[in-house]
Structure 1
Amino acid sequence: MCKILSVSNQKGGVGKTTTTGMLAIGLKARGYRVLAIDLDPQGNLSFSMGADTETSATIYDVLKGELKTQFAIQKTELIDIIAANILLSSIELEFTDTDREFLLKNALQPLLPLYDYIFIDTPPALGILTVNAFAVSDGVIVPMLSDIFSLQGITQLYETVERVKNRCNPSIAILGILLTKHNPRTLFSGEVRGTVEMIAKDLDIPVFDTFIRASVAVSEAQSLQRSMLKYAPKNNVTLDYTALIDELVAKGV
């Protein structure tokens, strides 16, 4: 049965795209059938996975109903992906009909028998695109930096997930908060983790045991459109995301 997972945080620069790409590539390397969907108009995931965002069909065309979803899938050297570009930013204005939060869910139905995992990289906002992702997702992974500003958005994202759960997707759950660019050796990072765990406990959502350390190799691999598994297999980030996949699998995700 296909599992659909969104990677989301309304704050930018927290590692959503990196997390989506690393999990998708990592699970593909383990033999799973994986599809990545770029739902961010910036198209960073599309670029880093080597997808064409100029002449090929994108998720924007799919949501507009201009072609079948299968025809928007690009099979790059790294992953199967449905790309995005800046046209997607107009979706809020273009789609005002009722049930617009189910556009992605309806589009993905034909793909469910074809994949074991579908990962959705969401934009840094809690608008209609993110709601569409939540409406079709089994779970949400929430990357956040180990800083005080990142703490402020947890409650807002939690409330958005709860609204989606109550209105259109009762099975969705927040799988966990993932600390990124985390340095466990600093006192401040330790304090932030403690605060995160306290807030998460109040909201009854988990914090992943695994955290992701920082490394410039990630940006290098993304700019070269290469997999971190091959570009820097012994890098801390590669090891950390491998551990995260182990944790997800152990939890039955």
Structure 2
Amino acid sequence: CRAAGTVAGTEFRFVGEAGSNLCQGCWCCRRPARASSRASSPARPNRPPPPPPSGPPRSKVHTYGYNAENPLRIQTHAERTKNFFLVVGDWGKAGGPGPCQVAVAEKMKAYVRTQREAGNNLLFVASVGDNFYWTGVTPDAWERQWASTYGTWDATSPLYQVPWLSVLGNHDLGNDDTYALCPEKQPLATLEGKHYGSKQFNADRNPLRPDAGCDDAGTVAAEPARCAKNTSFYWLPDYNYHYELPAAGLEVIALDTNDQAIDAIGGDAS
């Protein structure tokens, strides 16, 4: 009897009880050892590379319809930890500004002033929705609820011309901004086949912005008072968008999640 294995070209295999380590009589078989399957397998023929795809080359760049690479030219501090931003939401007030809104705005200004004195740099204000209560923006709300409250048009304010990166909330989709949620019914603008209806969108998608058209020097010269009401740094290019600040190692992704609360759209059960 031999232990299972290959000896002198003969292969001994166990065919009896499991765990047996000796070949005993009929419990063992012997046969010439076979070459390994790898050695006996024929070599695979070299296959030619697949042909190149037909048709025009595909673009690797997705077209968003807006510029995401810091279009507002936000300045960053070379030391990353010296940069900061503010986040505010539900800041609007019907007929406002209200006392709570004013109090929060003053705290924001005081905080920014203190941070700047410490050598820190405000990048932007992130506005996370419900910006103009109760039922969307009105023509006078830009000045009454936003500019006068936060000092965005006041050169002495710490928030003067600070960019606001905004997104829509359910109160921004009410009767005062009737087609914000269904722009295909009455679009304010159509870009690349997509309709836009919100009166908060950037001026290229919303000709009802107070300073729409004021990127033209002739318009500024002809209408200086209107063009002084600068809303171009209130940034809302689409329902969902992203904003890149490579120098600060930061990317902002703005998502409209109103589909998660359809019953609350409009803010006043409209």
TM-score normalised to structure 1 length: 0.30
Structure scoring higher RCO (CA < 8 A, sep ≥ 6) equals 1
Please state which structure has a larger fraction of its residues in helix.
Answer: 1
TM-score normalised to structure 2 length: 0.29
Work out which of the two has the higher radius of gyration on C-alpha atoms and give 1 or 2: 2
